[in-house]
Amino acid sequence: MQLIRLLSLSFLSLITLSGVNAGTSEQVTDYMLDNGMQVVVIEDHRAPVVVHMVWYKAGSGEEDPGVSGVAHFLEHLLFKKTKTLESGEFSRIVAENGGSGNAFTSFDYTGYFQRVAADRLPLMMRMEADRMINLDLGPEDILTEREVIIEERNQRVENDPGALFREQRNAALYLNHPYGIPIIGWRHEMEQLDLEDALAFYRQFYAPNNAVLVVAGDVEPENVLQLAKDTYGKIPPNPKLQERNRRQEPPHTSARRMTFYDERVGQPYVIRTYLAPERDPGAQKDAAALTLLAEILGGGQTSVLTQKLQFETQTAVYAGAFYNGTALDDTTFGLIVVPSEGVSLQEAEDAMDKTVLEFIEAGVDEEQLARLKMQFRASEIYARDNVKGLANAYGVALTSGLQLQDIEAWPDIVQGVTGEEIIEAAKAVFVKEKSVTGWLMKDEGDAK
Amino acid sequence: MKQVLSILFLFTSVPLWAASDIQSLKTPSGIQVWLVEDHNIPFVALELRFKGGASIDPVEKAGATNLMMALLEEGSGDLTAQDFAAAKERLAASFSYESYQDAVSISARFLTENRDEAVALLRQSLLTPNFDIDAVERVRAQVLTGLKSSETDPEDIVGKAFNAEAYGSHPYGRDDSGTKETVSALSREDLHAAHKYAMVLDRAYVSAVGDISPEDLSALVDRLLAGLPQHSTRDLPQKAELGLGAGIEVIDFATPQSVALFGHVGIARDHPDFFAAYLLNQIFGGGGLESRLTREIRENRGLTYGVGTYLVSRDYADVVIGQFASANDRMGEALNVLRSEWANISLNGVTQEELDRTKTYLTGAYPLRFDGNAPIANILVGMQMQGLDPSYVTTRNDKVNAVTLEQINAVAAWLYKPDQLRIFVVGQPDL
């Protein structure tokens, strides 16, 4: 039994092995429009359904200082008025066509999608292209929507001590990079976001040469290309678009520790995050080793932390590790221990450290590694059952600095990682000076 | 032999799309199974349900079924929890075991290349769980941790308050994970008993989608389930008597955003007006940005991030409920809008335009649900449990389209009862 859902430890959903792995087995075609927009088509003819997604290579990481949350605010505003559609009409037309749709904002990207019957694809592409260029907001559009995003922050963050704790930990981990600022924004800056902030972000980043179109489902690639030329292809590129070059981290020379108290904490836990390398184009080996390391340490019943802390010593009711390598800049590797009744956070942390140290000395269990690789291979088969998940995996990778050839190479790179390389990756990432250790507690009593 | 068998158990075959149809089989040992055969991807998604679930736990053993289901993968036959996990990993199969109020469920995915081994492993967990004492203690601690966290989660607090008042001593009135006291007191014998009573053949429902022939599936299901008891001596519950009051009850909890859960009696799934009610709910508080409540509470006033209403039509009770969260100082205004909309739809019904628009949405969205082996298997087993026929997938949209404005507004007038609307709020709202 997994404790994850009981504790709503939402960050654990980032674990990649159990998620979708885009690989080589699916039918993928790609094109580049003259205006610089990338087009990726994933064929799945099992059902007459299509997923249509537009991804912008702009997330909260592209925000200027002082306007945190504006990328996400703009995402909401894209459902308002354009020069051809009334406010709310976009969603209404999608629904009237039996479709569903939504949008999401992350550190590295903002994405918009609809799921519709395959014959409705041209309409979706016309409307999505329209709001790439024709947004027509007035001051009245933004005021209520700003209230909505503040309620969203209330719901996702202010009402959840674990989420408040995560914000503080991220801010402590990243000394300079925008990954230290919450995607939804700091509340005091969200309250001041205005129309011009949103429009400035829109004008700079919403352009075909900064976007990736992913269409997945019952479609023919040449038809999609023609539709894309007729819609997105008509939009001029933004010549002022620059290379994505964010402020990077300075050397981390001091381990950081924090305690977070909240009356609403039902279950204390200790969590440590380390700054870790991400997948880079043409250089994914370290990230592949870390992906496997997270699974070996904390990816389920047979993992090292689970076996030691839950089964052998019963120090923990839950122990895990998490890593998401698909990111534009330096990402994080995390360890978490939820102590058993009567075990202090200090004891839990010490046991976690001891277990990791022993693992590095003992090396990787080759049989466990073989099982993981088998699961990884199978996950590509299972992934083909979920075309939206596949489309999503391509979109994330292509807006996180990777190219199609990196996505295609990834499965073989993972299969080629050796136990020694995993240990080397562990030694490189587990450097105390590059880490934040946090204790989430109801009160002082939880520490002891 | 195979050919003879296929004639025996192939009863009906209803077209779903061009590529696939639902086959209804009866295995040699008499188990009903629905299959959609699809050989595109080399795996099978299998769904298994046993009616009953947490609601058949005796009150002093509340949580037994939940703990039992969590322990099926924690040691069985000659395998410890770790052995079992390693074997499953080696096969790259995925099994999940869940417990709900009305049923327990097992969802499995396994590759064609090692199907027989995967099914043998799954069978072992279903037939011969050990409930070893160390596993019991370990998982019990996890359940207790979950119960403790749930005590300070405003959404859980509001759900518990609503259920306790609505259902009282009926099993729906309690948490299906049990209480700290009952879970702490559960013995290994209680778990063996819960296992014996929950997983019985005459309450089983099975569906599968993917890379398998009807002959092979029929044999597989028999192999998987042979040896389970035929009947349970724990009766299914009676219908619940709804005990909801009216008006607002506030549960004080120090948090910046209040959570509201509200509703009253609803409508049964097999009621002749169910489809009208379903359309009504979609117009009033259904998903997406299109519903009246979303428009009035979120889009026009910015009082919440999301509001939704649901027809919860379960085996032993039917309610129409909804939920949203608003900052403490704005909850009062949001509730005023809610009450006024509740009264409005009851009094004035909906417009022809709203009805037409919603029909287009629901009939267009329905086929989009059938877009993968796993989701189709899930839909099929749900249909079986509701007593629907395979042909339902081809008639369902007709039922939606048959609803008239006259009918839907007649239903609105009795379904929505503004004077009976019960509202629970957790937080510190200004009302």
The enclosing domain of B165 has a CATH number of 3.30.830.10
Residue with tokens 């994405």: A111
The answer for A 50-69 residues in CB contact with B (under 8 A) is: none
Indicate whether B234 belongs to any domain: no
Q: Is the whole model's pTM more than 0.80, yes or no?
A: yes
- Taking residues B129-134, report their average pLDDT: 96
Indicate whether B36 belongs to any domain: yes
Question: What percentage of chain B reaches a pLDDT higher than 70?
Answer: 95
Q: Which of B191, B225, B259 is the last residue of a domain?
A: B225
- Name every residue whose Cβ is closer than 8 Å to that of residue B123 and which is 6 or more positions away in sequence: B223, B224, B225
Mean of all residue pLDDT scores within chain B: 93
| B345 to A48, B104, B160, B280: CA distances (angstroms) | 36, 37, 28, 9
Identify the closest residue of chain A to B372 by CA–CA distance. Answer: A385
Q: In the predicted model, is pLDDT for residue B138 greater than 50?
A: yes
Q: Can you give the pLDDT at residue B32?
A: 95
Q: pLDDT by residue (tens digit) across B338-384?
A: 999 999 999 999 999 999 999 999 999 998 999 899 999 999 999 99
Identify the closest residue of chain B to A317 by CA–CA distance. Answer: B142
- Name every residue whose Cβ is closer than 8 Å to that of residue A361 and which is 6 or more positions away in sequence: none
Indicate whether B416 belongs to any domain: yes
Q: pLDDT by residue (tens digit) across B152-196?
A: 999 999 999 999 999 999 999 999 999 999 999 999 999 999 999
- Assess whether B172 and B302 both reside in one domain: no
> What three-state secondary structure class fits A78?
coil
- Assess whether B256 and B162 both reside in one domain: no
Strand blocks (E) in A62-124: 100-105, 110-117
Indicate whether B274 belongs to any domain: yes
Q: What angle do CA A393, A395, A400 make, to 5 degrees?
A: 95
Q: Which of B190, B225, B260 is the last residue of a domain?
A: B225
| Inter-chain touch A145–B367, beta carbons under 8 Å | no
- Assess whether B213 and B344 both reside in one domain: no
Indicate whether B121 belongs to any domain: yes
- Assess whether B116 and B214 both reside in one domain: yes
- Assess whether B198 and B284 both reside in one domain: no
Indicate whether B236 belongs to any domain: no
Q: Which pair of structure tokens corresponds to residue A67?
A: 């306007």
Q: Can you give the pLDDT at residue A26?
A: 65
- Assess whether B253 and B287 both reside in one domain: yes
The answer for A 134-193 residues in CB contact with B (under 8 A) is: 143-152, 154-155, 158-159
Would you say the C-alpha torsion A60, A62, A67, A73 has a positive or negative sign? negative
Q: Which pair of structure tokens corresponds to residue A365?
A: 């269990």
Q: Which of B225, B259, B275 is the last residue of a domain?
A: B225
Structurally, chain B folds into a number of domains equal to 2
Q: Can you give the pLDDT at residue A14?
A: 31
- Assess whether B214 and B251 both reside in one domain: no
Q: pLDDT by residue (tens digit) across B55-86?
A: 999 999 999 999 999 999 999 999 999 999 99
Residue with tokens 């629970």: B424
The answer for A 86-115 residues in CB contact with B (under 8 A) is: 88, 91-92, 95-100, 115
Q: b/e for A408-439, b at 16 or more Cβ within 10 A? A: ebbbebbeebebebbbebbeebbeeebbbbbb
| Inter-chain touch A1–B327, beta carbons under 8 Å | no
Q: In the predicted model, is pLDDT for residue B431 greater than 70?
A: yes
**pLDDT tens for the 448 residues of chain A, in order:** 444 433 444 333 333 333 345 554 568 999 999 999 999 999 999 889 999 999 999 999 999 999 999 999 999 999 999 999 999 999 999 999 999 999 999 999 999 999 999 999 999 999 999 999 999 998 888 999 999 999 999 999 999 999 999 999 999 999 999 999 999 999 999 999 999 999 999 999 999 999 999 999 999 999 999 999 999 999 999 999 999 999 999 999 999 999 999 999 999 999 999 999 999 999 999 999 999 999 999 998 999 999 999 999 999 999 999 999 999 999 999 999 999 999 999 999 999 999 999 999 999 999 999 999 999 999 999 999 999 999 999 999 999 999 999 999 999 999 999 999 999 999 999 999 999 999 999 988 777 6
How far off is chain B from A80, nearest CA to CA, in Å? 10
Q: pLDDT by residue (tens digit) across B244-255?
A: 999 999 999 999
Residue B370 domain boundaries? 247-427
Nearest to A341 among B109, B141, B368 (CB): B141
| Inter-chain touch A318–B300, beta carbons under 8 Å | no
- Name every residue whose Cβ is closer than 8 Å to that of residue A324 and which is 6 or more positions away in sequence: A14, A15, A16, A331, A332
- Assess whether B197 and B126 both reside in one domain: yes
The answer for A 332-391 residues in CB contact with B (under 8 A) is: 338, 340-341, 367-368, 371-372, 374-375, 377-379, 381-382, 384-387
Residue A75 annotated as catalytic: yes
Q: Can you give the pLDDT at residue A230?
A: 98
Nearest to B145 among A6, A154, A375 (CB): A6
- Assess whether B173 and B277 both reside in one domain: no
Q: Can you give the pLDDT at residue B287?
A: 74
Residue with tokens 């250089």: A283
Rounded to an integer, what distance in angstroms lies between the CA atom of residue A130 and that of residue A117? 20
Indicate whether B241 belongs to any domain: no
- Assess whether B416 and B378 both reside in one domain: yes
Q: In the predicted model, is pLDDT for residue B5 greater than 70?
A: no
- Assess whether B200 and B335 both reside in one domain: no
| B89 to A104, A372, B79, B425: CA distances (angstroms) | 33, 7, 14, 44
3-state SS track over A282-319: CECHHHHHHHHHHHHHHCCCCCHHHHHHHHHCCCEEEE
Indicate whether B235 belongs to any domain: no
- Assess whether B126 and B59 both reside in one domain: yes
